[in-house]
Structure 1
Amino acid sequence: MQLKKLFAVATLLVGALLAGCQTTNPYTGEQQASKSTKYGLGGVLAGAAIGAIADGGDGALKGAIIGGAAGAGYGHYLDRQETVLRAELEGTGVQVYRQGDELKLIMPSNITFDSSKSDIKSAFYPVLGSVAKVFKEYDRNLIQVVGYTDSTGGDKINVPLSLARADSVANYIAFQGVMGERISAYGRGSMDPIASNKTTDGRAKNRRVEINLLPAPQR
């Protein structure tokens, strides 16, 4: 296939992705491409490059089609998962972050645990129940639960406490019916602070449990 023809077909693929996946930003009113579009475009480019190396122009076209479909499919899955999690967790104090193909939930310790304790607060059980419900519905993730503390107290206290809190969250999610093979728990103490430990507000932000949702290996 001639290069010009390949370029024209790739342009049509990109245009179709952009046209089909435009959304309106509810805050600005502007048109924007969804995350699934970005995954699809990345898949088109990556697939075309690999296909070209393997089989010239025809391979590039096939790779673009396959790569675009795969990329957009996974991106769309994450779009839906993120939307459901945000709806379930609105007003709970749990923050939802998206970076590439990973989703992160940040749970401040003041809403999950009493001071220096690892037993989940009774008022937080319904929130974790909602999280577990989404995890059961969307099962293409590995679930990494990580506990953190501020820098006061020293590692001898902070590391075991952070691990005990991560274990409490992980065990409750598994108790709600999420497959245990998907779940792992870690305690990192005062490592990886997200705010300054020099202020009261910063230390409060650092005392947290994070749930990282990572792509599961393809079966």
Structure 2
Amino acid sequence: MKKAVILASAMALLTACQTPTDPLTGQPQRNNTAGGAALGAVAGAVTGLLIAKDKKGDDQRKAALIGAGVGALVGGGIGNYMDRQEQELRQQLLNSGVSVTRAGDQIILNLPGNVTFASDSADLNPNFIGVLDSVAIVLNKYPQTLLDIDGHTDNTGSAEYNQQLSERRAVSVGTYISQRGIDPRRLLIVGFGETRPIADNSTDFGRQQNRRVEIRISPLRQ
């Protein structure tokens, strides 16, 4: 496992990874080699966003939150807490394009790539900002949860490129909601590239389904 790194300034990172506008698409180009290097090299606990290569950051987040006085959930209160949060998320995200799925005590928000980002870009779609604001409103009301932000792509292009794109997109979402009051110590950001498809990559529809960012909301337990 590569050592997890703390994001000093996600916005500076995203800006540094940009190159001039593509004359054909009108979209900012990104230097993928530079972006990947920056993501792995950034250090310094400024914003506190935890970017890792896998899912082994739970103990670190739990210790930080509980040490800061955020109480852990216990017993039957966990289900009720997550039920109320799920209901509010469903109300806020109705007709937004974001799906809300419940898996045990975990809530999964699926942010489709085609509505969250411009094509082949990690820049948030301006029309989607209001949706993320709605997500942040609810998440701020329920601070006793851990938030995993997972980036995923289809298998078009090289695996290296897709890995870097998935990381940048997850960082964009994590950075934005942290700027809306979410305690960054709750977040763990991981890019999975093309390794975790949920649909068939041999079809246009399947590839569209696979291009996504997921926010996984889990109760803070001891």
Q: Same fold (TM over 0.5)?
A: yes
Write the deviation string for residues 76-120 of structure 1: whole angstroms up to 9, x where unpaired: 111110000000000000000001111100010010001110000
What's the CA shift for 1:123? 0.6
Q: Does 1:166 align with 2:170?
A: yes
Matches within 5 A, 1:51-130: 71-130=75-134
Matches within 5 A, 1:12-31: none
Matches within 5 A, 1:140-179: 140-179=144-183
Q: Which runs of 4+ in 1 moved over 3 A?
A: none
DSSP 3-state at the match of 2:76? helix
Please give the alpha-carbon distance, in whole angstroms, between the structure 1 residues aligned to 2:202 and 2:190.
Answer: 25
What's the CA shift for 1:191? 1.1
Count residues with an aligned counterpart: 149
- TM-score (norm. length: structure 1): 0.66
Is the helix fraction higher in 1 or 2? 1
DSSP 3-state at the match of 2:172? helix
Name structure 1 gaps, 5 residues minimum. Answer: 1-69
Write the deviation string for residues 189-211 of structure 1: whole angstroms up to 9, x where unpaired: 01111100011000000000000
What's the CA shift for 1:72? 2.8
Please give the alpha-carbon distance, in whole angstroms, between the structure 2 residues aligned to 1:85 and 1:72.
Answer: 21
Name structure 2 gaps, 5 residues minimum. Answer: 1-73
Q: Which amino acid counterpart does residue 86 of structure 2 have in structure 1?
A: E
Identity of aligned residues (%): 44
- TM-score (norm. length: structure 2): 0.66
Q: Which amino acid counterpart does residue 128 of structure 2 have in structure 1?
A: F
| Pairing partner for 1:194 from 183, 191, 198 | 198
What's the CA shift for 1:155? 1.3
Write the deviation string for residues 1-31 of structure 1: whole angstroms up to 9, x where unpaired: xxxxxxxxxxxxxxxxxxxxxxxxxxxxxxx
